[in-house]
Structure 1
Amino acid sequence: MLSSILILSIPAATKACSEETALGHRVNGTLPLNDPSLSALSREPFKHKIKTLVPSLDGSGHFAHRSGKFYNKVNDIIGPNSNQKCSIHHWAERGIAGRGVLLNYHEYAKKKKIYFNPYETCRNSFKDLGNCGKEHGIDIRPESAGGDTRIGDILFIRSGWREAYNNRSEETQILDSANKEHPTFGGLGQEQATFDWLHDCYFAAVAGDYPSFEAWPASESYHHLHEYILSLWGMPLGEMLCLDKLAQKCCELKRWTLFSTSAPANCLNGVGSHVNGLAML
């Protein structure tokens, strides 16, 4: 599962290097995890195994559409007719880089006295996300509709899940982990306005500190957001990112846009990866 975004302050040396990205080219310098197949210095060779957790749930090869197909009409990622169309290594080849936009929903909800418990099926409505953006001076609508979101932006949403996790007792954390049958988490609500917004903005990726990004379980009257984001659109989806420090820095600087990079694991047939992310302001 995608996770962990790091935040660094920008000293003069880092800022001076920003002009080196003027042409916008991205080149991957990381070997695939299985290359070379025979490691040097008696190191053990890389081993990769796909583990099925839930039927039709596994990433673009993590979550299948209810039709049973993954992105690119792939219907087999581990069986005899499997292919590599949905492998995470395709993202690793060029990485993910672009302008990030952070919505600090956690602080917004506290300020407006909106109840949101990351461990309950609480739903971020499109209206609340829009009002959160206004608090930051950002119109979250796409540029084509008069908003501030550009094609290729990377969306980050902080719900406060990590803070809630740290405030729970160790016993409660163990119980949460053991409740695999009927987990409940807060996240984006499955409403048509949210589906339309995520589609029309043409985000390069979306991510949050939520364990599931969308409210879980999903509303019965709608499909899962995962089905659209991963299975239909092939859009990278990050979960359980560390956004607390980033939100603090954005608040200090009074700016909510940043330069963001991600280097997914270069794993052939991989269905997920740590984000290996870096945010720079």
Structure 2
Amino acid sequence: MTDSPSMSEVLKDCPKNWGRWGEDDEVGALNFLTAEEVLRGVQHVKQGKVFPVQLKMGDPNGDPVWPGRRAAERLMVIDEGNWIGGSAPEFPGGLHYADDFITAFLQGSTQYDALGHVWYDGEIYNGYDAKTTIGGLKKASVLPIAEKGIVGRGVLLDMARYRGKDRLEKGETFTHEDLEACAEKQGITIEKHDIILIRTGFLGSFHEDGPVKFYDGFNEPGLTFSKELVEWFHEREIPNLVTDTIANETTYEPDTGVALPLHCALMRNLGVTFTEICDLEALAEDCASDNQYAFLYAAAPLKIVEGTGAPVNPIVVK
């Protein structure tokens, strides 16, 4: 929107973590996830329940992706049909096999964003020149995140259930104060260095309502920008924000019309990693049934050299 303020205007008084972990840092707030934080997360493994929270990839019914991206496409290269048709190789002993490949946006499924994925004013995370993104991310790519891995105490905040809904509506917003209220109702406390998982239920509308309705007037529900919210993330030293939406925040700010300011305020400025398009439904149902909303969270995106992001199947263990 041409009459919207610039990102630098919107975020002018917000904190940054640039230089906090040195001038060469590329993993940002994940530095908070020390060995002690891993052990703190392990303390919440009580039942041995395992929840892989990746959304299906290459689903024949379609994949919800950011508008303009294509869903993953899988193609068979060889299968039993090749042997039936006489076009397959012959191996001693009579072995047959199947092979396929996939074409996908690196951020076209459940995935981690690289810290260099978004920027403004010519600088990405930690002050690296935005020109380092040309042809591939030479700085702050997804590779350092993938090489570190992400393990710690995770907390689910079920905003849809908190508001008494199956899913939040398009453009529906909530704040850090809503997150605190949701946690209180669930009987937990958001602690320093927690990995925050937020369920909106919104992705359910992709299959229930169909892609046409899902993308019509596209404006996801989610966190909405305020200086106080950014300071809340900064003070609590949150390393990772995980949601069941495509972009982890409401698409357009209701007050300014600015698109995705939290990508810039949290990821670009604070180094908070974003995990998007997660399937939190089974986890949310289980948390509601046993009232255990804190758990061990572990994830490692694919090690894509110079990648802007990478697919991931995070694991929650209760």
Residue 136 of structure 1 aligns with which residue?
A: 186
Q: 1:79 aligns with which of 123, 134, 138?
A: 134
CA shift, 1:69, in A, is: 1.4
Say if 1:83 and 1:280 are closer, same or farther in 2 by CA, change over 3 A. Answer: closer
Q: Is the 8 A contact 2:167 2:204 kept in 1?
A: no
Does 1:224 pair with 2:261?
yes
- What SS class does the counterpart of residue 188 from structure 2 fall into? coil
Q: Which residue in 1 is equivalent to 2:200?
A: 159
Asked whether the 8 Å contact 1:116–1:122 carries over to 2, the reply is: no
Of the three residues 63, 77, 92, the one matched with 2:118 is: 63
How far, CA to CA, are the matches of 1:102 and 1:11 in structure 2? 17
Q: CA RMSD in A?
A: 3.4
Displacement after TM superposition at 1:138 (Å): 2.1
Provide closer, same or farther for how the CA distance between residues 50 and 10 of structure 1 changes in structure 2, counting only shifts above 3 A.
Answer: closer
The offset of 1:125, in angstroms, is 2.4
Matched residue count: 219
Q: Which blocks of at least 5 consecutive residues in structure 1 are unaligned?
A: 1-7, 15-42, 52-57, 141-148
Rg: which structure is higher?
2
Give the aligned partner of residue 100 of structure 1: 154
Residues 204-230 of structure 1, C-alpha deviation per residue, up to 9 Å, x if partnerless?
211111222111112418770110221
Match of 2:13? none
1:183/1:68 CA distance change after superposition, 3 Å = farther
Equivalent position SS for 2:292? coil
Measured in 1, the distance between the counterparts of 2:173 and 2:180 equals: 14
1:207 to 242, 255, 276: 242
1:161 partner SS: coil
Q: TM-score with structure 2 length normalisation?
A: 0.60
1:253 corresponds to 2:290: yes
Query: Cα 1:85–1:48, aligned 2, differ >3 Å: closer, same or farther?
Result: farther
Spell out structure 1 runs of 4+ moving beyond 3 A.
Answer: 8-12, 43-51, 115-118, 174-177
Are residues 250 and 50 of structure 1, via their aligned partners in 2, closer, same or farther at CA, if it must alter by over 3 Å? closer
Task: Give the structure 1 partner of residue 300 of structure 2.
Answer: 263
The offset of 1:255, in angstroms, is 1.1
* Cα distance in 2, alignment partners of residues 199 and 263 from structure 1: 23
SS of the residue corresponding to residue 131 of structure 2 reads coil
Matched, 1:187 2:248: no
Which has a greater percent of strand? 2
1:280 shift after superposition: 0.1
